[in-house]
Amino acid sequence: MEVIKTKNLTFQYRNNPKSILNDISLDIYEGDFILLCGPSGCGKTTLLKHLKHLIAPVGDLSGDIFFNGVNIKEVPERSLVSEIGFVFQNPENQIVCDKPFEEMAFGLENLGLPSNEIRRRVAEMASFFGIEKYFEKDIHTLSGGQKQLLNLASIMVMQPSVLLLDEPTSMLDPVATGEFFSILNKINKELGLTVIICEHQLEAIYPIVDKVCYMENGRVAAFDNPNNVAKKIIVSGSNMTYALPTPTRIFTELTRDYIAEMDPMSIPLNVRDGRICLKYYVEKNEIGPERLVKPGADLESLKRKDEDTALKAEGIYFRYKKASPDILKNISFRTYRSEIFSILGGNGVGKTTLLSILSGINKPYRGKVKSLMTDSRKKIAYLPQNPEIMFVKDSIREDLEFLAETNDLPVSIIEETVNKYDFFANVPEFFDSNPLDLSGGEKQKMAFLKLMLLDPEIILLDEPTKGLDAFSKKNLADILNTLTGKGISVVMVTHDLEFAARHSDRCALMFNGEIVSVDIPERFFSNNHFYTTATSKVTKRILENTITVDDVRELMYI
Amino acid sequence: MSRYSNFFGDYHPVVVFIYYMSIFVLLITITHPAFLLVSLFVLLLYSLLLDGIKSLLKSLVYMIPMVLFIAVINPFFNHYGETPLFYMNNRPVTLEALLFGVFTGVLIIGLIFLFKSFSRCIDSHRFIYLFGKILPTISLMITMVMRFMPYLKRKLSAISQTQATLGVSVNEGRIKKRLQSGANILSILISVSLEGTIDTADSMKARGYQLKGKTHYNTFVYTSRDFVLLVSTVILDIFFAIVVIRGSYAFEFYPRLTEVSFNSITILILVVNCLFMGLPIIVNIVEEVRWKLSRRKI
Amino acid sequence: MSNYILITALIALAICAVFLFAFERKRPSARDILPIVIMCVIASVGRVIFSFLPGIQPVTAIVIIMGVCYGPQTGFVTGALCALISNVFIGHGPWTPWQMLAWGLIGIIGAGIAHFRWGRKTYVLAAYGVLAGFLYSMIMDIWTVSTLASGLTLPIVLSVYGAGLLYNIGHAIGNAVFIVLLYKPLSKKLLRLRSKYGILEKEIK
Ligand SMILES: Nc1ncnc2c1ncn2[C@@H]1O[C@H](COP(=O)(O)OP(=O)(O)OP(=O)(O)O)[C@@H](O)[C@H]1O
Ligand SMILES: Nc1ncnc2c1ncn2[C@@H]1O[C@H](COP(=O)(O)OP(=O)(O)OP(=O)(O)O)[C@@H](O)[C@H]1O
Ligand SMILES: [Mg+2]
Ligand SMILES: [Mg+2]
């Protein structure tokens, strides 16, 4: 029997003329592991919230949802609470308590479990997710990723039978993401939990799910096994192609001309299958050894001159409180004009803290940050990890106009900027919305638009690709490249290794408050084992120096 | 004694609550100056032990004007009493009324310190434990307000820092612009936190906050020492109830001050009073000593 | 004699309790209570910040606005909680129940005024703010008089009022100013939230 069944679900928010869900009918069976994907703003969050009836958004709804065969409106609250677990998109706002252990116990207390049972479950789950380290810390001192893990743990501890996850790994580092997905996989396979997960970052999750539900404009465009959906997406040539896992995309590149006739099951989704296909391709086409090595970058030509320095950090030390340990230790580096500098590293190593120092928000207690731009007006723009706090007014239009006004810019600049870049293509649609009504990805876009209007010389971005669909990411990269072409320096913190590999000029790895290595992406990623791109994993020992799909394409099609 | 350890707060919240209620009722019913002075002394001592001299002086500085105000104002409105100090508009300003004013002021100080020490023993967790059954929503709201205070403060600084990079700053520009920036920042703070609370509310609802029959992660185990405290409280309550009923310790301000005499009974009452008010201090000292001893054995 | 303090405090507390229990009985959802929590935080912090100015603080204005936008019960609870919470920093005492009651009633009356169309105009509410300042002191002075304990005679009451006049004028003017400043932007946010998330759907149509 279906655990969850939706029948012709149609939904519209009251203050939004657009219909957000259109005629959605899904059958979800017990033990299914389902990926919900689609472009930003297609209604994933909205759909997911309807499935956990208690938090369904307010608006005009038609159609029905059944939970274990019963209309969800008639299911008692207690079983909705204990049976369906929901993890929200924004990790900050769903926290109710002060301390991680209280937070984890919250649901269990409400369900009325005996206290020793609560303690046992909390202890088990905390050690499972590695939360012991900050079990009794104040929650507000945790990093974004740590909060997200805690949220997952506080849902898992309630042992639900259906798990709904809204971009649960958007702020986790790649290692933690991988671990998290393998935990999910284990929970699904061993305990038979039904899991529905929304994601933009499909790399790691796509190969392990049973079914993919691909949404577009509030409709289900495809609901099938991953291979069929992958083929459908590839054949349709939609923008979603960019989101598919790297092995699939490499395979698509290799079989471009005849993929339409291929059996969907032969499309590789994971690294192992991708390697097999690549090897087979190389052998079958008798590609000579000279075409297997991408020529290394010319390091000499990449050397930058001192006068091109944009930001210079010298021996920075920082701590939040006098009595607390150092978060940043002896950090020194430079960024140059026309360069995208990416900072990578695990959760809680201090990346956000470092950006806050570069932007001048926090002051180091030792060391200095120098900005060596010619224009003496300080022009550093900063995109915080949580972009909500960038909006001042009640509508996007007013907000943008206000920004122009406060910074003595002509209002026409808004239209110019929006029209100049593809990234902002659908932005005018939202001009009259309240910034706080936008979906996660849309907020991110608007916040970035605000930065662009300021015409900065240095841009600091904290996880800019979080919540963006693959196509928007590509457009974002285009903007960044245009900007660096104009001599602007971009520093970004990201967990998106593919994005960093593809678009940055240099990458830095942070560990425990220190920068442990800085290098060009090619060398940076081919030297790492875990902190490396999927392409590099697929091509290891077959091709050399290839870290992005583009690299592979270049090599294979000379 | 270390400043932050308060062993008395480790007792079972219900027992601690009963203890404080008894003290509250006693302070308000027994209108004897000696009783009040002794009580005040012990309460101040406890506050001194918990928070240190600085904090104590600070709160006293804040309170003394109030006592003076009440003390001075009472005799002008209140013309009972037999010992006129002087006349105003042909009406006597009496010593009794003055002293009654002082008495009321001191009582209020005592009550303030009592609330203070009460709130040091009953944290949000215990608060919910005590009142969660009777007023579940209100007690949850109270603890949430306490939680959101530092949260909003942090949010405010994040917002003003981020907005400063967008040209909205209270530290730059002309005074009008600064004021506008301040208003804008406040407006974002309210919008974002109101909006953010909806997620918080949903997250609470999704995890069943409205279900009946809550339990607690930290249950408060009722042990023998709680029993001892409870029994002592009850015995002392009975003792004072007898004192009040027999009237042997009554004090009247009007028409004339009752004479305060010190005999063996009143001394006994004062000593018991000291003991009762000082229970938290005694507990803390005993536990401290016990802890030191246990360290020595290691 | 000083039993008056106890008795009057208990009376005020009992009245508050009636209202609070009525609120509990509704089993308000999390979405209904969290806006109150946030506004209480802002009002209480405001009260502490402004405590150096006699009588001037944003609590009364915010309580009125909450009553106007979210109805009488929310108004009362906001007022009562603001008193309870801000006194943690300013000083709890036997007057706390009175303050809870006073602010709570001000919220209820605010909701009543907003029932009429004309009652939602800024200047009407500002005028009510001035009145509310005096209403507040009237209720609080019952407490003051009860500590003096010589019965309620007219001259006593009048002189108590006279003594607090500066404070009351500050309070009344402060209310009007805060309402003029806050009413438009705040009510816009609160009403938006209400329609977007269906807060208090059942009560207010
Ligand atoms: N409360 C609301 N009122 C009005 N419109 C809304 C509201 N919430 C979301 N929307 C709109 O509904 C659409 C779908 O939003 P939703 O949050 O479901 O998108 P999503 O698929 O989760 O996107 P993302 O991947 O960016 O999180 C968006 O266009 C958004 O602007
Ligand atoms: N306001 C604060 N007060 C005290 N400690 C803090 C504060 N903010 C962050 N920390 C601590 O500083 C460390 C670094 O936090 P930071 O937010 O810079 O991490 P991050 O590298 O950005 O992690 P993530 O990738 O998860 O966002 C963490 O251990 C965190 O607990
Ligand atoms: Mg979403
Ligand atoms: Mg971070």
Under 8 Å between Cβ of A381 and A390: no
Pairing, β A194-198 against β A514-519: unpaired
In DSSP notation, C97-138 reads HHHHHHHHHHHHHHHHHHTSSGGGSHHHHHHHHHHHHHHHHH
CATH fold of C2-204: Arp2/3 complex 21 kDa subunit ARPC3 (1.10.1760)
B271 found inside a domain: yes
A134 found inside a domain: yes
Q: Does A447 touch chain B (CB under 8 A)?
A: no
Pocket of ligand 1 contains residue A15 by CB under 6 Å: yes
Of C188, C192, C197, the CB nearest to A58: C197
Pocket of ligand 1 contains residue A13 by CB under 6 Å: yes
Which ligand 2 atom is at minimum distance from the Cα of A346?
A: 25
Task: Please write the tens of the pLDDT for every residue from B176-185.
Answer: 888 888 888 9
The chain C residue lying nearest A434, using CA atoms, is C192
Number of domains in chain A: 2
A195 found inside a domain: yes
Under 8 Å between Cβ of B155 and A389: yes
- Exposure of A155 by Cβ count < 10 A (0-12 exposed, 13-18 middle, 19+ buried)? buried
Residue to test with chain A: of B146, B195, B207, most A Cβ within 10 A:
B207
Per-residue confidence (pLDDT) for residue C179, from 0 to 100? 94
**pLDDT band at A558, cuts 50/70/90?**
low
Under 8 Å between Cβ of A454 and A407: yes
Distance of CA A483 from the midpoint of ligand 1 (Å): 29
Of B154, B197, B213, the CB nearest to A140: B154
Between CA A371 and CA B71 the distance in angstroms is 64
Q: In what order do the strands lie in the sheet with A380-383?
A: A380-383, A458-462, A489-493, A339-345, A506-511, A514-519
* Ligand 2 cavity residues, CB under 6 Å: A 141-146, 171, 173, 320, 327, 347-353
Under 8 Å between Cβ of B13 and B129: yes
Under 8 Å between Cβ of B273 and B38: yes
Of C21, C29, C84, the CB nearest to B142: C84
The chain C residue lying nearest B210, using CA atoms, is C29
What string of pLDDT tens digits covers the 205 residues of chain C? 446 777 788 889 999 999 999 999 988 888 889 999 999 999 999 988 887 777 889 999 999 999 999 999 999 999 999 999 888 887 777 788 999 999 999 999 999 999 888 888 999 999 999 999 999 988 887 777 766 655 556 666 677 677 778 888 989 999 999 999 999 999 999 998 888 887 776 554 3
| Residue (of A201, A148, A143, A208) closest to A441 by Cα position | A201
Between CA A80 and CA A52 the distance in angstroms is 7
B182 found inside a domain: no
Per-residue confidence (pLDDT) for residue C151, from 0 to 100? 54
Element (H or E) spanning A343, and its range?
strand A339-345
| ipTM of the shown complex | 0.86
φ, ψ of residue A74 to 5 degrees: the values are: -100, -5
Mean pLDDT of each 10-residue bin along chain B, 298 residues long: 65 92 87 89 90 85 78 73 77 82 85 85 82 86 87 89 85 84 90 88 89 79 90 92 82 76 84 90 88 78
Under 8 Å between Cβ of A129 and A155: no
Structure tokens at C76: 């009362």
Between CA B73 and CA B85 the distance in angstroms is 14
Q: Does A434 touch chain C (CB under 8 A)?
A: yes
Identify residue A550 by its one-letter amino acid code.
Answer: D
Q: Does A58 touch chain B (CB under 8 A)?
A: no
Of C30, C93, C94, the CB nearest to B205: C30
B19 found inside a domain: yes
Question: What is the maximum alpha-carbon separation in chain B?
Answer: 76
Closest CA of chain B from C100, distance in Å: 13
Binding partners of B (≥3 Cβ pairs within 8 A): A, C
Per-residue confidence (pLDDT) for residue B146, from 0 to 100? 85
Instruction: Please name every residue paired with A12 in a beta bridge, in sequence order, or none if there are none.
Output: A19, A60
Chain-centroid distance of CA B153 in Å reads: 24
Identify residue A269 by its one-letter amino acid code.
Answer: L
Under 8 Å between Cβ of A337 and A310: yes
| Residue (of A472, A402, A392) closest to A435 by Cα position | A392
A81 found inside a domain: yes
Under 8 Å between Cβ of C83 and C103: yes
- What angle (nearest 5°) sits at the alpha carbon of residue A269, between those of residues A267 and A273? 80
Instruction: Please name every residue paired with A45 in a beta bridge, in sequence order, or none if there are none.
Output: none
Distance of CA A199 from the midpoint of ligand 3 (Å): 9
Average pLDDT, rounded, for chain C: 86
Between CA B254 and CA B250 the distance in angstroms is 12
| Residue (of A98, A221, C7, A387) closest to B151 by Cα position | A98
Element (H or E) spanning A526, and its range?
helix A521-527
Question: Does A58 have pLDDT greater than 70?
Answer: yes
Under 8 Å between Cβ of B281 and B45: yes
**pLDDT band at A378, cuts 50/70/90?**
low
Q: Which domain holds residue A118?
A: 4-224
Total Cβ atoms within 10 A of residue A545: 18
Do B205 and C31 make contact, defined as CB atoms within 8 angstroms? yes
Pairing, β A84-87 against β A162-166: parallel
Distance of CA A352 from the midpoint of ligand 2 (Å): 7
Under 8 Å between Cβ of C20 and B135: yes
Residue written as token pair 């006597």: B92
Distance of CA A90 from the midpoint of ligand 3 (Å): 9
Do A394 and C195 make contact, defined as CB atoms within 8 angstroms? no
The chain A residue lying nearest B221, using CA atoms, is A115
Average pLDDT, rounded, for chain A: 88
Q: What CATH number did the domain enclosing A509 receive?
A: 3.40.50.300
Under 8 Å between Cβ of A88 and A46: no
Under 8 Å between Cβ of A219 and A24: yes
Distance of CA A399 from the midpoint of ligand 1 (Å): 19
Give the residue-averaged pLDDT of A137-154: 85
Per-residue confidence (pLDDT) for residue C152, from 0 to 100? 56
Closest CA of chain B from A459, distance in Å: 11
Do B138 and C24 make contact, defined as CB atoms within 8 angstroms? yes
**Between A445 and A304, residue with greater pLDDT:** A445
Element (H or E) spanning A519, and its range?
strand A514-519
User: In this structure, is the dihedral angle defined by the CA atoms of residues A530, A533, A535 and A536, taken in order, positive or negative?
Assistant: negative
Q: Which residues of B touch A458 (CB under 8 A)?
A: none
- Exposure of A177 by Cβ count < 10 A (0-12 exposed, 13-18 middle, 19+ buried)? buried
Tell me the CA end-to-end span of chain C in Å, nearest whole number: 50
Between CA B200 and CA A94 the distance in angstroms is 5
Per-residue confidence (pLDDT) for residue B58, from 0 to 100? 85
Q: A134-152 burial, b if ≥16 CB within 10 A, otherwise e?
A: beeeebeebbbbbbbbbbb
Per-residue confidence (pLDDT) for residue C203, from 0 to 100? 52
Binding partners of A (≥3 Cβ pairs within 8 A): B, C
Q: Which residues of C touch A434 (CB under 8 A)?
A: 192
Number of domains in chain B: 1
The chain A residue lying nearest B211, using CA atoms, is A110
Distance of CA A89 from the midpoint of ligand 1 (Å): 12
Q: Which residues of A touch B125 (CB under 8 A)?
A: 102
Share of chain A above pLDDT 90, in %: 41
Give strand ranges (E) for A68-193.
70-71, 84-87, 162-166
Residue A12: partners with Cβ closer than 8 Å, 6 or more residues away: A18, A19, A20, A59, A60
Between CA C134 and CA B253 the distance in angstroms is 33
- For chain C, the structural domain boundaries read 2-204
Residue A546: partners with Cβ closer than 8 Å, 6 or more residues away: A294, A535, A536, A539, A552, A555
Residue written as token pair 């008692």: A76
Task: Please write the tens of the pLDDT for every residue from A381-390.
Answer: 899 988 888 9
Question: Does A300 have pLDDT greater than 80?
Answer: no
Residue nearest to atom 19 of ligand 1 (CA): A41
Q: Decide: helix, strand or coil at residue A477.
A: helix
Helix (H), strand (E), coil (C) string for A290-323? HHCECCCCCHHHHCCCHHHEEEEEEEEEECCCCC
A window 58-77, beta carbon within 8 A of C: 58
Between CA A256 and CA A250 the distance in angstroms is 10
Between CA A24 and CA A27 the distance in angstroms is 10
**pLDDT band at A65, cuts 50/70/90?**
very high
